Amino acid sequence: MRPTNFVDYVPNELLIGIFNLLPKDSQGNCLCVCKSWYYVFAYIHYRNITIGDRDEQDKIALFARFLKERPPNVGGGIRTLQINQRPSRLCTEKEAKSARQALGKILVSCNNLKELGMTVDSQYWKYMYELSQEPHIPKLHKISALGMITHRHRQDYFYKVAHQHRSTLKKLDVHRSCDQSIQKEFHGLLNYLKDFKQLERLSIKSGSQQELIFFHRLLEVCPQLEALDYQLDHPFFDCNPTNVSIYPTLRELDIYLPDFSSRLLKYVTERFQSLKRLTIRVNHSDSTQQSRWSKSETGDTLTKALYFFGNQFISFIRQLEYSQLNFCINGKSYIEPYIAQIYCSQISMNSKEVNADFQLTDSRAEMSQMTLIKGVDNVDFRFHFVREFDSLQHDLLYLEHLRSYGSRLQKLKITYNRQDGLATAIDLNPILSLCPNLSTLSISIQASPSVYFSHPHASIFPPLILSEAAQTVDPHIAHVVLEGMSITPEFLKNLSVRLPNMRSFVIRNCIASFESNQFYDMSCLDIESFQFDISTHQRARVDDRESFCFVLERKFKRTLKYYLVNETQPKELTESQFNERKGQLPVIWFMFNTLKKAELHATNKALCAKEILFCNN
Higher pLDDT, 397 or 314: 314
CA distance 399 to 392: 12
Q: Look at residues 442, 504, 459 and name the one whose alpha carbon lies nearest to residue 478.
A: 504
Output the CA–CA distances (angstroms, integers) from residue 477 to 131, 350, 376, in the order listed. Answer: 63, 21, 24
Q: Positive or negative, the Cα torsion across 423, 429, 433, 436?
A: positive
Residue 530 near residue 598 (C-beta atoms within 8 A): yes
Question: What's the mean pLDDT in 407-419?
Answer: 89
Helix (H) or strand (E) holding 398: helix 398-405
Quick: pLDDT tens for 376-404: 889 999 999 887 765 444 557 888 889 88
Looking only at Cα atoms, what is the longest distance across the chain? Answer: 90
Please tell me the predicted confidence (pLDDT) of residue 1.
38
Please tell me the predicted confidence (pLDDT) of residue 31.
65
Quick: pLDDT tens for 498-557: 999 999 999 988 877 656 678 999 999 999 999 988 766 655 554 445 678 889 999 988
Please tell me the predicted confidence (pLDDT) of residue 607.
44
Please tell me the predicted confidence (pLDDT) of residue 340.
76
CA distance 573 to 571: 6
Q: Is the pLDDT score of 448 beyond 60? A: yes
CA 563 from chain centre, in angstroms, equals 38
| Helix (H/G/I), strand (E/B), else coil: 458 | helix
The residues, any chain, with a CB within 8 Å of residue 551's CB and separated by 6 or more, are: 560, 561, 562, 563, 578, 587, 588, 589, 590
Q: Are strands 504-508 and 548-554 parallel, antiparallel or unpaired?
A: unpaired
CA distance 298 to 262: 10
CA distance 280 to 556: 54
CA distance 356 to 428: 16
Q: Are strands 571-573 and 587-601 parallel, antiparallel or unpaired?
A: unpaired
Residue 188 carries which DSSP code? S
Residue 81 near residue 113 (C-beta atoms within 8 A): yes
Secondary structure E strands in 201-336? 201-204, 227-230, 252-257, 277-284, 322-330
The residues, any chain, with a CB within 8 Å of residue 323's CB and separated by 6 or more, are: 277, 278, 279, 280, 317, 372, 373, 374
CA distance 357 to 410: 11
Higher pLDDT, 485 or 462: 485
CA distance 614 to 327: 48
Beta bridge partners of 227: 201, 252
Residue 378 near residue 343 (C-beta atoms within 8 A): no
Question: What's the mean pLDDT in 554-576?
Answer: 84
Higher pLDDT, 436 or 88: 436
Higher pLDDT, 11 or 350: 350
Residue 75 near residue 107 (C-beta atoms within 8 A): no
Please tell me the predicted confidence (pLDDT) of residue 544.
45
CA distance 394 to 414: 14
Please tell me the predicted confidence (pLDDT) of residue 325.
94
Top-confidence range, 331-335, 375-379, 613-617: 375-379
**Exposure of 506 by Cβ count < 10 A (0-12 exposed, 13-18 middle, 19+ buried)?**
middle
Please tell me the predicted confidence (pLDDT) of residue 332.
76
Q: Is the pLDDT score of 481 beyond 50? A: yes
Name the least confident of 266-280, 327-341, 420-434, 539-553.
Answer: 539-553
Query: What is the average pLDDT value for the chain, to the nearest integer?
Result: 81
**Exposure of 433 by Cβ count < 10 A (0-12 exposed, 13-18 middle, 19+ buried)?**
middle
Quick: pLDDT tens for 30-85: 666 666 666 666 666 678 888 875 544 577 777 777 777 766 667 777 888 888 87
> Percentage of the chain surpassing pLDDT 70?
78
Higher pLDDT, 287 or 382: 382
Name the least confident of 113-127, 330-344, 568-582.
Answer: 330-344
Q: Look at residues 341, 342, 340, 409 and name the one whose alpha carbon lies nearest to residue 379.
A: 409
CA distance 494 to 484: 19
Q: Is the pLDDT score of 135 beyond 90? A: no
- Going by pLDDT thresholds of 50, 70 and 90, the confidence category of residue 457 is low
Any idea what the Cα angle at residue 195 is, between residues 191 and 198, rounded to 5°?
Answer: 135
Secondary structure E strands in 388-516? 411-418, 426-427, 440-447, 464-465, 479-483, 504-508
| Helix (H/G/I), strand (E/B), else coil: 500 | coil
> Percentage of the chain surpassing pLDDT 90?
31
pTM: 0.83
Please tell me the predicted confidence (pLDDT) of residue 418.
75
> What is the DSSP code string of 148-187?
---TT---HHHHHHHHHTTTT--EEEES-TT-HHHHHHHS
The count of other CB atoms within 10 Å of the CB of residue 596 is: 17
Q: Is the pLDDT score of 596 beyond 50? A: yes
Question: What's the mean pLDDT in 442-451?
Answer: 76
